[in-house]
Structure 1
Amino acid sequence: MIKYILQRLLATVPVVVIVALIVFSLLFLTPGDPAAVMAGDQATPEQIAQIRESLGLDQPFLPRLLSWFGAVLQGDLGTSIFTGQPVTKMILERIGPTFSLMLVTLVFAVIVAVPVGVIAAYRHNTLLDNAIMAAAVLGFSVPVFVLGYLLAWLLASNAQLLPVQGYRPLSDGVGPWLRHLVLPVLTVSGVYIALIARITRTTMLEVLSQDYIRTARAKGASERAVLFVHALRNASVQVVTVVGLGVALLIGGAVVTETVFSIPGLGRLTVDAILQRDYPVIQGIILLFSFVYVLVNLLVDLSYVLFDPRIRY
């Protein structure tokens, strides 16, 4: 098991390096002069030259790359062109709402989707199964922003059950924190629940047809034990894999959802940075999201040893 863990840890190193290289290269892959684009049409040549110097565009690619890598390893992601603040500070100020949204959505989606997928597999080809799969297709089809505006109109504007916009930190209390997260979580989790439920159903159908499931039933095991102990335990590796891969959906959904519900998180910061062409901020956020995605999938790989005993040997 130790060897497996070390192999997975070492495998993430080149991935992180390649991602960082691509993120850094975004500035040099921009058509035209990035400094002129960021400065705007009314900028003077002196202002453009100042931006080019601050971004290191007046230096050769390789020395600038090495300098940037060294700064990133020390936690320095550069300075925002428009605010003049360190990018690291801007990200730390906005990271709480985004990670709260992603974490609550992840927990909620797994709690809902896994049992729903198991029930759909158990009641295969019945009306209940067809209804669950139809709902999953609908979850994939409805855009995040459409679902967000629909929920805001239905639950906030009409029923006045929940706040329409904004965010309250956890320090203000669990109740206000969760009330402001309900609508965003429901919005983001739609496509995530649909993905996990469909994969859980498909995997469970394969597992339920295995000989050891028939043996467990022949020995008198209850259906609950067959489904949630024997079958789900053996299907969990594929389900956990999809949960990890689906984090990309959470990241993309968070960007849209934070804009819809005016949540001051990294999603809003990303949109503002793109509109302002603030490349250092864009680079820092993309690098952070990429690192989180790699880290989550590393944890998913390491969790396999808990579900599949063969990996431990």
Structure 2
Amino acid sequence: MWQYLIKRLLVMVPTLLGILTLTFIVMQFMPGGPVEHMLAQLDSHGARSGADTGESASGGWNYSGRRGIDAQQVEQIKTLYGFDQPPLERYWHMLKNFLHFELGDSYYHHQSVASLIQEKLAVTVSLGVWTFFLTYLISVPLGVAKAVRAGSRFDFITSLLVLIGYAMPGFILGVMLIVLFGGGSFWDIFPLRGLTSDNWHELGTSDKILDYLWHVTLPVTASVVSLFAIKTLLTKNMFLEEIRRQYVLTARAKGLSERRVLWKHIFRNALLPLVTGFPGTFIGAFFTGSLLIETLFSLDGLGLLSYESINNRDYPVVLGTLYLFTLIGLLIKLLGDIAYVLVDPRIKFSAQEA
């Protein structure tokens, strides 16, 4: 197992390097880099000031070709963003910094990428942790109950609800929750901005907890519903498959209680496919769909930061967040493989013995 872990850790290096390299290359061919973005802003500012730049006052990405901008100023902007250096030199400089976990400085937030990620991480972690644990806390018991009552009215009704939840994207459900409970056309029960109230620091401990739960109810609900459907059906199918096996009939013939057979024998054997889904569920809970949920509920997290950095061509933030997300994803997958052995010691990562 240790040899396997060492190999996996070594494989992470070229995987991470390849993802960063491809992203860096794509950025070199993307139109409207950070230099052009800044020049467009200066150009549009000149148009609003009445300068003859040929640019409309709306500004934005309608760049007019550096007219009215001094060539020396253009070079200063290139130097500021490091684009006075050739791409290969910038690439090696990026890799050297990432090797020491130095993610650079944001072009537009005027602070280090590491501190920027640290500021936004609390929102994403809050949503991700709640989504991940609630997904399993709901799906596993519900899947077991459906397997035990397979073919019953309970199984039919819950399957229908689960499929409806799976078919409904999180942001659509979020809009419905806002309309129903967020002061839309019906009830004004839950807040729609931030994870805490403005006076959160003035509240007592119990009031702080209640205020936090009050704020996360709608975004977490919108994130969880579409995720736990797959786990519920997977749990049900795996339990049904195990229930039909010979060892279950033998355990029942020995006089063991149905609860003991279910949770001690069947559950352990049916747990392995659930463990294999840990990495995907974890990554999905933290990163997949976080952009839409954070935007919809005005939560300033990593999803919104990544989206804004792509729009603003803030390359250090794009590469820094991608580096962090990829590294976390690879480590979580490795932990998932380790969990296989803990659940079922029969699994061997080494070559088969003669």
Report the TM-score when normalising by structure 2.
0.79
Structure-2 residue corresponding to 1:286: 322
Structure-2 residue corresponding to 1:267: 303
Report the TM-score when normalising by structure 1.
0.88
Structure-2 residue corresponding to 1:243: 278
Please identify which structure carries the higher helix content.
1
Hey, what's the Cα distance between the residues in 1 that align with 2:73 and 2:268?
Answer: 61
**Structure 1 runs not aligned, ≥5 long:** none
8 Å Cα contact 1:27-1:34 kept in structure 2 = no
Q: Out of 158, 161, 171, which is 1:135 matched to?
A: 161
Structure-2 residue corresponding to 1:75: 101
8 Å Cα contact 2:103-2:320 kept in structure 1 = yes
* 2:114 corresponds to 1:88: yes
Hey, what's the Cα distance between the residues in 1 that align with 2:273 and 2:113?
Answer: 37
Shift of 1:177: 2.2
Larger relative CO (CA 8 A, sep 6+): 1 or 2?
Answer: 1
CA gap of 1:248–1:310, structure 2 versus 1, over 3 A, is: same
8 Å Cα contact 2:340-2:347 kept in structure 1 = yes
CA gap of 1:36–1:10, structure 2 versus 1, over 3 A, is: same
8 Å Cα contact 2:294-2:301 kept in structure 1 = yes
Structure 1 counterpart of 2:218, which letter? L
Structure 1 counterpart of 2:277, which letter? V
Structure-1 residue corresponding to 2:43: none
Shift of 1:283: 2.0
Structure 2 counterpart of 1:240, which letter? V
Structure-1 residue corresponding to 2:15: 15
Shift of 1:300: 1.2
Structure-1 residue corresponding to 2:194: 166
8 Å Cα contact 1:51-1:81 kept in structure 2 = no
Q: Deviations over 1:4-56 (max 9, x none)?
A: 44344334333323223233333224247664256431654555544544444
CA gap of 1:47–1:129, structure 2 versus 1, over 3 A, is: farther
8 Å Cα contact 2:242-2:269 kept in structure 1 = yes
Q: Deviations over 1:175-231 (max 9, x none)?
A: 222221111111111121112112212222222222112212222222222222211
Which residues in structure 2 correspond to 1:42-61 (within 5 Å)? 44=69, 49-61=75-87
Hey, what's the Cα distance between the residues in 2 that align with 1:138 and 1:38?
Answer: 46
Query: Per the alignment, in what secondary structure is the counterpart of residue 324 of structure 2?
Result: helix
Q: Deviations over 1:117-153 (max 9, x none)?
A: 1122222233222222222222221121111121122
Structure-2 residue corresponding to 1:183: 218
Structure-1 residue corresponding to 2:265: 230
Hey, what's the Cα distance between the residues in 2 that align with 1:47 and 1:114?
Answer: 61
8 Å Cα contact 2:20-2:319 kept in structure 1 = no
Greater Cα radius of gyration, structure 1 or 2: 2
Query: Per the alignment, in what secondary structure is the counterpart of residue 346 of structure 2?
Result: helix
Structure 2 counterpart of 1:285, which letter? T
8 Å Cα contact 1:35-1:49 kept in structure 2 = no
8 Å Cα contact 1:23-1:287 kept in structure 2 = no
Shift of 1:270: 2.0
Which residues in structure 2 correspond to 1:77-116 (within 5 Å)? 77-116=103-142
Query: Per the alignment, in what secondary structure is the counterpart of residue 262 of structure 1?
Result: coil
CA gap of 1:222–1:312, structure 2 versus 1, over 3 A, is: farther
Structure 1 counterpart of 2:338, which letter? L
Name the stretch that deviates more: 51-60 or 118-127. 51-60
* 2:323 corresponds to 1:297: no
Q: Out of 281, 290, 296, which is 1:254 matched to?
A: 290
Query: Per the alignment, in what secondary structure is the counterpart of residue 252 of structure 1?
Result: coil
Structure 2 counterpart of 1:28, which letter? Q
CA gap of 1:273–1:48, structure 2 versus 1, over 3 A, is: farther
| Matched residues, number | 313
8 Å Cα contact 1:94-1:264 kept in structure 2 = yes
CA gap of 1:114–1:303, structure 2 versus 1, over 3 A, is: same
Q: Deviations over 1:67-90 (max 9, x none)?
A: 101111223222222232222221
Hey, what's the Cα distance between the residues in 2 that align with 1:48 and 1:144?
Answer: 44
Structure 2 counterpart of 1:17, which letter? L
Structure-2 residue corresponding to 1:26: 26
Query: Per the alignment, in what secondary structure is the counterpart of residue 292 of structure 2?
Result: helix
CA gap of 1:47–1:214, structure 2 versus 1, over 3 A, is: farther
Hey, what's the Cα distance between the residues in 1 that align with 2:338 and 2:128?
Answer: 21
Structure 1 counterpart of 2:305, which letter? L
8 Å Cα contact 1:104-1:185 kept in structure 2 = yes
